[in-house]
Amino acid sequence: MDWNAEWYENKHGFVAEYGRELLSCVPENPDQSILDLGCGTGTLTHALLEKSASVTGLDSSPEMIAKARQLYPGMDFRVLDARLMPWRNRFDIVFSNAALHWIPDHGTLLNAVSRVLKPQGKLVCEFGAHLNILRIREAFRTALERRNLPYTTRFYFPAAEEYGSVLEQAGLRPETMKEFDRPTPLKGGPDGLRNWACQFFREDLNNLREEQRIQIFKEMEDSLKDELWDGSQWVADYRRIRVTAAR
């Protein structure tokens, strides 16, 4: 994924804000080591210092990590593909908010998570569940298809029952698993939906002319207005899965 870290920090701060609730699932222990997997610009990585003095942030995006290092100098941030993590029995907690749905191969990913966790270590994560942003995705796909442009499915949005099996195959024992709707207001008033699409559909939009992008955004807005516009802001049809699992 090609990320614009400045755009993400300024217009999509809701990602980290909603993730603060997930922090309550992480126990406080000054002696534990925590990995923030898919840390983005480091907001929650920094917040995890309230849980432990040993916190590492990992993200595959050099742009995101550069911003995290700028915002939180002195913290340990790494540019790394989560599926290729080199550690073994290193962390007590692997924490991840709104990141895992960007990784399609969860078999390989969760094997890596299991490997880096200490025995009895825990995965604490939340990400997109089955049917997440379904209306937005369908509106975007329809707008592309009208122009004979391909739509690429880039996300992994599992149902809880499915994901329980994937965890167990990687040697992780599900402890809690919850799916829930979380309607999410998007910053920017009338421009909120297109701002969101500019970031999260970035790779599909990169090769289009500006006028094509504007036409696509307009079609999306027209088709979604009755469902997702509340009169003052766009409210995205988010659905999440929250998981804790032990090695």
Give the other-Cβ count within 10 Å of 14's Cβ.
Answer: 16
Domain that holds residue 67: 5-133+155-187+238-246
Domain for residue 12, yes or no?
yes
Domain for residue 62, yes or no?
yes
Number of domains in the chain: 1
Give the other-Cβ count within 10 Å of 180's Cβ.
Answer: 11
Average pLDDT over residues 53-58: 98
Domain for residue 24, yes or no?
yes
- Confidence class for position 72, pLDDT limits 50, 70, 90: very high
Q: Answer yes or no: pTM beyond 0.85.
A: yes
Q: Which helix (H) or strand (E) holds 93?
A: strand 91-97
Domain for residue 96, yes or no?
yes
Alpha-carbon span 161 to 206, nearest angstrom: 35
Alpha-carbon span 209 to 192, nearest angstrom: 20
Among residues 157, 154, 156, 173, which one has the least CA distance to residue 165?
173
Domain for residue 85, yes or no?
yes
- Is pLDDT at 14 greater than 80 in this prediction? no
Q: What is the CA radius of gyration of the chain?
A: 18
- Confidence class for position 149, pLDDT limits 50, 70, 90: very high
Which long-range contacts does 223-227 make (Cβ < 8 Å, 24+ apart)? Answer: 223/139, 223/142, 224/135, 224/136, 224/139, 224/193, 227/135
pLDDT for the residue 15: 57
pLDDT for the residue 18: 77
Domain for residue 54, yes or no?
yes
177, with CB counted inside 10 A (0-12, 13-18, 19+), is middle
62 forms beta bridges with none
Alpha-carbon span 25 to 180, nearest angstrom: 16
Average pLDDT over residues 200-215: 93
Domain for residue 110, yes or no?
yes
Greater confidence (217 vs 199) lies with 217
